[in-house]
Structure 1
Amino acid sequence: MNYGCLPNDDKPTNNLKITSPAQLNTRALSSDCADSLWADVWLDNQVVGKLQRQANGWQGQMKIPRGSHTLKIEFKCITDTYGTLSLAINTQNKNFSTDDTLSLGSSDYQYPDDDNDGSSNLAELEAGTDPSDNQDGGGLNSFKWANPLPQGNSLTDVIWNGSAFLTVGYRGTILTSGNGQSWSVAHSTSTKRLQGIAWSGSQYVVVGVQGTVLTRPANSPDWAIRDPGSNKDLFGITWTGSQFVAVGEEIAITSTDGINWITHTLPKGHLFKSITWTGEQLVAAGLVINKNTHKPEGAIMTSDDGTLWSSPKLTGTASLSDIEWTGSQLIAVGGDQHLSGNNLTPTTQGGLILTSTDGENWQQQDSGTNIDLHTVTFEAASGVIIAAGGSSHLIDRSTPTQSVILSSSDGVNWTTRDSSLNQNYRGLASSPSQTIVIGDAGVIKSSSNLQQWNNHTSGTLNTLNDIVSMGNMLIAVGINGEVLTSQNSRSWASRNSGTSTDLTAIAWTGSMLVTVGGDLGPAQDGPGQAGSNGVILTSPDGINWTDRTPEGVLGLIRDISWTGSQLIAVGSAGLILTSPDGIQWTTQNSGTDRWLNAVSSNNDLIVITGGDHFNQDGVGGTILTSSDGSNWTPINGLDENIDLVDVTWTGSFFTAVGGVFNQELDNASKILTSHDGLNWTTNNPGINSIIEDVYWTGSKLLAVSNTNSALLTSFDGNSWTLSPTPSGNTQNSVVEYQGDTIIVGSNGTILYREN
Structure 2
Amino acid sequence: MSAKHTLLALSLSMPACSLYLPGDTGDEDSNGSADDNLYIAVGDQGALLSSPDGATWTTRTSGTTVALNDIAHGDGRYVAVGQAGKILVSEDGIMWDPADSPSSRDLFAVVHHIDRFYAVGGDYSAGAETLESMDGTTWTRPEIPQLDFLLADLASDGNQLVAIGTSQSDLQIFGLFTWPQGGPQDSNVAAGWTQRVDGTGLSLRYKAIAAGAPAFVTIGPGGSASSTDAITWTQAPIFEAAAMRGLTYTQQGWIAVGDTGKILFSGDGAQWVAQDSGHAGQLLGITTSGSLHLAVGADGALLSSSDGVLWLPQQSPLSVDLRAVTHPRG
Identify if the C-alpha distance between structure 1 residues 636 and 492 changes in structure 2 by more than 3 Å, giving closer, same or farther. closer
Once the 2 structures are TM-superposed, how far is the Cα of residue 590 of structure 1 from its aligned partner? 5.0
Identity %: 24
RMSD over aligned Cα atoms: 2.6
Provide Cα deviations, 1:489-516, integer angstroms capped at 9, x if missing partner: 1111100011111100000004000000
| Equivalent residue in structure 2 for 1:546, among 72, 97, 118 | 97
Structure 1: state its 5+ residue gaps.
1-48, 51-59, 62-398, 401-458, 460-469, 519-532, 659-667
Q: Which residue of 2 aligns with 1:565?
A: 115
> CA, structure 1 residues 543+636, in 2 after alignment: closer, same or farther (shift >3 Å)?
closer
Q: Does residue 67 of structure 2 align to residue 502 of structure 1?
A: yes
Alignment of 1:23-38 (within 5 A): none
Q: Which residue of 1 aligns with 2:270?
A: 718
Change (3 A) 1:637 1:501: closer
> d(CA) in 2 for partners of 1:590 and 1:483?
34
CA distance in 2, matches of 1:670, 1:649: 17
d(CA) in 2 for partners of 1:610, 1:513: 24
- Offset, 1:603: 3.7
Deviations 1:525-562 (A, max 9, x none): xxxxxxxx2101100111111101324x4211000000
Moved more, 591-600 or 626-635: 626-635
Change (3 A) 1:637 1:610: closer
1:711–1:724 Cα contact (<8 Å) kept? yes
What is the CA-CA distance between 1:735 and the residue it aligns to? Answer: 1.9
Q: Which amino acid aligns with 1:686?
A: F
- Judge conservation of contact 1:670–1:691 (CA < 8 Å) in 2: no
CA separation of 1:494 and 1:708: change in aligned 2, threshold 3 A: same
Following superposition, the deviation at residue 683 of structure 1 comes to 1.4
**Aligned mates of 1:674, 1:590 — CA distance in 2:** 26
Q: 2:162 aligns with which of 571, 592, 607?
A: 607
Corresponding residue number in structure 2 for 1:582: 136
Query: Aligned partners of 1:590 and 1:726: how far apart in 2?
Result: 45
Q: CA deviation at 1:651?
A: 4.3
* Paired AA for residue 547 in structure 1: P
SS at match of 1:708: helix
Question: For 2:100 and 2:279, how far apart are their aligned partners in 1?
Answer: 34
- For 2:158 and 2:69, how far apart are their aligned partners in 1? 25
The one of 147, 150, 156 equivalent to 1:595 is 150
Query: Are the aligned partners of 2:81 and 2:110 in contact in 1 as well (CA < 8 Å)?
Result: yes
Mapping 1:103-502, distance limit 5 Å = 472-502=37-67
1:603–1:496 distance in 2 versus 1, CA, 3 Å: closer
1:652: Cα distance to partner? 3.5
Select the structure of larger CA radius of gyration.
1
- Equivalent position SS for 1:621: strand
Contact in 1 for aligned 2:242/2:262 (Cα 8 Å): no
| Cα pair distance change 1:495/1:611, threshold 3 Å | same
Is 1:514 aligned with 2:79? yes
SS at the partner of 2:245?
strand
Aligned equivalents of 1:636, 1:477: Cα separation in 2:
30
Helix, strand or coil for the counterpart of 2:239? coil
Residue 642 of structure 1: CA displacement?
Answer: 2.4
SS state of the match for residue 635, structure 1? strand
Shift in CA distance, 590/717, structure 1 to aligned 2, threshold 3 Å: farther
- Residue of structure 2 equivalent to 1:536: 87
Secondary structure class of the residue paired with 2:45: helix
TM-superposed CA distance for 1:729, in Å, is 1.3
Name the structure 1 match of 2:313. Answer: none
Deviation at 1:616, TM superposition (A): 2.9
Contact preservation (8 Å) 2:70, 2:108: yes
SS in 1 for 2:173: coil
Q: For the Cα contact (< 8 Å) 1:687–1:708, is it kept in 2?
A: no
- Structure 1 length as normaliser, TM-score? 0.34
Change over 3 Å in CA distance of 1:736–1:471 after alignment to 2: farther
Whole-angstrom CA distance in 2 between matches of 1:732 and 1:644: 14
Query: 1:567 corresponds to which letter in structure 2?
Result: F
* Residue 747, structure 1, aligned to residue 309, structure 2: no
Matches of 1:567 and 1:505, distance apart in 2: 13
Q: What residue ranges of structure 2 are gaps of 5+ in the alignment?
A: 6-15, 18-22, 24-34, 308-330
Aligned partner of 2:51: which letter? S
- Partner residue, 2:245: 692
| Contact persistence 1:669–1:688 (CA under 8 A) | yes
Distance in 1 of aligned mates of 2:291 and 2:148: 41
1:641: how far off? Answer: 4.2
- 1:31-51 CA distance string (max 9 Å, x none): xxxxxxxxxxxxxxxxxx97x
1:507–1:590 distance in 2 versus 1, CA, 3 Å: farther
Aligned residues: 268
Structure 1 residues 585 and 721 mapped into 2: Cα distance closer, same or farther (>3 Å)?
Answer: same
DSSP 3-state at the match of 1:644: coil
In the TM superposition, residue 674 of structure 1 has moved relative to its aligned partner by: 1.0
